[in-house]
Amino acid sequence: METEWRGMRFSFTEAVYAPREDSFLLAEAVEKFAAGRVLDMGTGCGIQGITAARKKEVNAVVSADAGKEALEAARANAGKNGAGGKITFVQTDLFSAVKGKFDTIAFNPPYLPVSPGEKRFADSAAWDGGKTGRKVIDRFLDEFDRHLAPRGKLLFLSSSLSDEGKTLKKLAQKGFSAETAGEKRFFFEKITVIKAEKNPDNEAAA
């Protein structure tokens, strides 16, 4: 299976999340804001990391995913789209095997609320957010700032289905200001790219 975006081609299997509206919305923000050393968390087929790597403002990319098949697809897609030279691929459960700090972190997390009895599919890990949709989101928000460089930015795909207000509250509690870097509405859901950066006042006090 294959899809195209901005002249780039991305191949994927049934076990790898197929790029769709949420992926493209985040990729637009990555295309606009990513710089320096970039972490593409939950890379899937690699669209965020590859988009970042093609920018002259980006020095290096780490594309991270828990799934071996996703990393294989991302690596193949990076080569196919001429971006492999800037990207390192890491198999990891969130930040467990990620080293160093990053100027930009991009993440399209699993955010769909899924009840315990619902049917699972080969790519479920990419979108199954547990009962509230926040099973992975809250773990990520607890940890990400330890891996963000001073003046670094987070580009985070958020959904109205998984309590965006709670996400914004957690970011504020950590001293981050947040703004909308992209938004798309559907009849059942609103998806938003949150761009979050440390408040200068908090940096000065730290």
CATH number at residue 71: 3.40.50.150
CA–CA separation, 175 and 144 (whole Å): 13
Q: What pLDDT, on the 0 to 100 scale, is given for residue 202? A: 56
18 pLDDT above the threshold of 90 = no
pLDDT per position as a tens digit, 60-96:
999 999 999 999 999 999 999 998 889 999 999 999 9
- pLDDT (mean) for 8-19: 87
Q: What pLDDT, on the 0 to 100 scale, is given for residue 3? A: 85
Q: Cβ(134)–Cβ(162) under 8 Å?
A: yes
CA–CA separation, 69 and 179 (whole Å): 33
CA–CA separation, 161 and 6 (whole Å): 28
CA–CA separation, 117 and 10 (whole Å): 32
Q: Cβ(202)–Cβ(175) under 8 Å?
A: yes
Q: What pLDDT, on the 0 to 100 scale, is given for residue 149? A: 96
In 34-187, alpha helices (H): 47-53, 68-80, 137-143, 164-173
- Number of domains comprising the chain: 1
Q: Cβ(45)–Cβ(10) under 8 Å?
A: yes
- pLDDT (mean) for 162-167: 95
- Determine the structural domain holding residue 93 and report its residue range: 2-205
Q: What pLDDT, on the 0 to 100 scale, is given for residue 197? A: 96
pLDDT per position as a tens digit, 175-195:
999 999 999 999 889 999 999
Q: Which two three-digit tokens encode residue 1?
A: 């299976």
First to last CA, the chain: 48
CA–CA separation, 87 and 63 (whole Å): 7
In 34-163, alpha helices (H): 47-53, 68-80, 137-143
Comparing CA positions, the residue from 41, 128, 57, 134 lying closest to residue 93 is 41
Q: Cβ(23)–Cβ(44) under 8 Å?
A: yes
Find the largest Cα–Cα distance for the chain.
Answer: 50
205 pLDDT above the threshold of 50 = no
pTM of the complete model? 0.93
